[in-house]
């Protein structure tokens, strides 16, 4: 078993708000699928009662400790909604899958709008996370089942829809190859997308996803016309790459302890 690394939070490592979050569970699961893959993780309860995860080796939290569910709504819901309002069959790009908050958000927004996405391309470098999410969609019991169920219940309550509707919508999309659970984003082909949910780990954990080379190429290939993008982050490299690719920036207040977050859009040519 790999050595445990101390907890590290990407957004407020020394914040007093940390005591709003608590480690609910930790685990280590072995996922067979031809190859044996291990994932050491900690499950953390955030300030709004929703779960997040931290994974080896850095144990960076996937969400703000103030509230994973609330953060997802604040940062990503407007982008998903704009895509549904603007494009009849939107293509979504989610970087990365993590616990699937953004995929479930797209599913519930899809139910709300009564429209089906053309594609949800979801990138994740950690194979057990992709396999666990896929297995959960197929109703197999996996160690993260209670976590996915809890997240789905929270959305179901907010959207006033049965949880099973969103789950079966995602399963249908998966079986039609319209939900694609893909590998590391830098190694995959990108489809031009109308909504980009850029939820990579921080520069400390995923430096390769924050270089000017990666960001310029990524937005150049991944942005359709129109395209809406949001992220919890706001840094110079990101803003430059968006501007280089004809996005108009809309810098908003950050979530929780973050000062600023980035929303951006690129319109269809007149
Ligand atoms: C902040 S978390 C995403 C949280 C997720 N959006 C959610 O709401 O649950 C970042 C995710 O990106 C994944 N990741 C790291 N490097 C990646 C890469 N090169 N390509 C795709 N995903 C990557 C991590 O494993 C992690 O699951």
Q: What are phi and psi of 217, to 5 degrees?
A: -65, -40
Q: Per-domain residue ranges for the chain?
A: 68-266
| Token code pair at residue 225 | 């016309």
Ligand 1 centroid to Cα of residue 27, in Å, is 19
Distances (CA, A) of 253 to 1, 57, 151, 172, 233: 41, 30, 25, 36, 11
| pLDDT for res 236 | 98
DSSP secondary structure letter of residue 88? S
Give the other-Cβ count within 10 Å of 257's Cβ: 16
Ligand 1 centroid to Cα of residue 58, in Å, is 13
Ligand 1 centroid to Cα of residue 129, in Å, is 9
Ligand 1 centroid to Cα of residue 270, in Å, is 35
Per-residue pLDDT tens digits of the chain, which is 270 residues long: 333 222 223 333 223 233 345 665 665 555 444 443 578 889 999 999 999 999 988 999 999 999 999 999 999 999 999 999 999 999 999 999 999 999 999 999 999 999 999 999 999 999 999 999 999 999 998 889 999 999 999 999 999 999 999 999 999 999 999 999 999 999 999 999 999 999 999 999 999 999 999 999 999 999 999 999 999 999 999 999 999 999 999 999 999 999 999 999 998 654
Ligand 1 site residues, Cβ closer than 6 angstroms = 62, 72, 95-102, 123-126, 129, 184-186, 199-201, 206, 209
Query: To test ligand 1's pocket by mutation, which of 94, 125, 132, 195 has the most ligand atoms within 8 angstroms of CB?
Result: 125
Crossing angle of helices 101-113 and 145-159, in 10° steps, is 30
Query: To test ligand 1's pocket by mutation, which of 64, 67, 124 has the most ligand atoms within 8 angstroms of CB?
Result: 124
| pLDDT for res 38 | 73
- For domain 68-266, the CATH superfamily is Vaccinia Virus protein VP39 (3.40.50.150)
Ligand 1 centroid to Cα of residue 57, in Å, is 14
Q: Whose CA is nearest to atom 4 of ligand 1?
A: 98
Ligand 1 centroid to Cα of residue 51, in Å, is 15
DSSP secondary structure letter of residue 64? -
Q: Facing residues of 22 across strands?
A: 45
């Amino acid at each position: 078993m790999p050595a445990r690394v101390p907890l590290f939070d990407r957004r407020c490592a020394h914040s007093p708000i940390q005591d709003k979050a608590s480690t609910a569970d930790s685990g280590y699961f072995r996922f067979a699928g031809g190859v044996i893959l291990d994932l050491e993780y900690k499950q953390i309860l955030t300030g709004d009662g929703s779960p997040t995860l931290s994974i080896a080796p850095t144990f960076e939290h996937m969400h703000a400790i103030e509230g994973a569910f609330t953060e997802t709504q604040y940062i990503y819901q407007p982008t998903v909604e704009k895509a549904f309002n603007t494009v009849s069959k939107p293509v979504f790009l989610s970087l990365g899958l993590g616990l699937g908050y953004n995929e479930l958000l797209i599913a519930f927004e899809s139910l709300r709008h009564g429209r089906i996405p053309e594609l949800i391309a979801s990138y994740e470098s950690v194979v057990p996370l992709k396999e666990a999410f896929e297995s959960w969609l197929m109703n197999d019991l996996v160690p993260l089942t209670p976590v996915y169920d809890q997240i789905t219940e929270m959305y179901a309550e907010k959207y006033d829809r049965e949880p099973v509707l969103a789950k079966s919508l995602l399963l249908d999309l998966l079986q039609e190859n319209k939900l694609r659970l893909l590998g590391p984003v830098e190694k995959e082909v990108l489809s031009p997308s109308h909504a980009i949910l850029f939820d990579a780990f921080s520069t400390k954990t995923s430096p390769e996803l924050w270089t000017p080379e990666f960001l310029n190429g990524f937005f150049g290939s991944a942005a359709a016309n129109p395209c809406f993008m949001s992220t919890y982050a706001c840094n110079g490299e990101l803003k430059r790459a968006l501007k280089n690719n004809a996005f108009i920036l809309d810098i908003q207040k950050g979530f929780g302890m973050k000062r600023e977050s980035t929303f951006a859009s690129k319109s269809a040519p007149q």
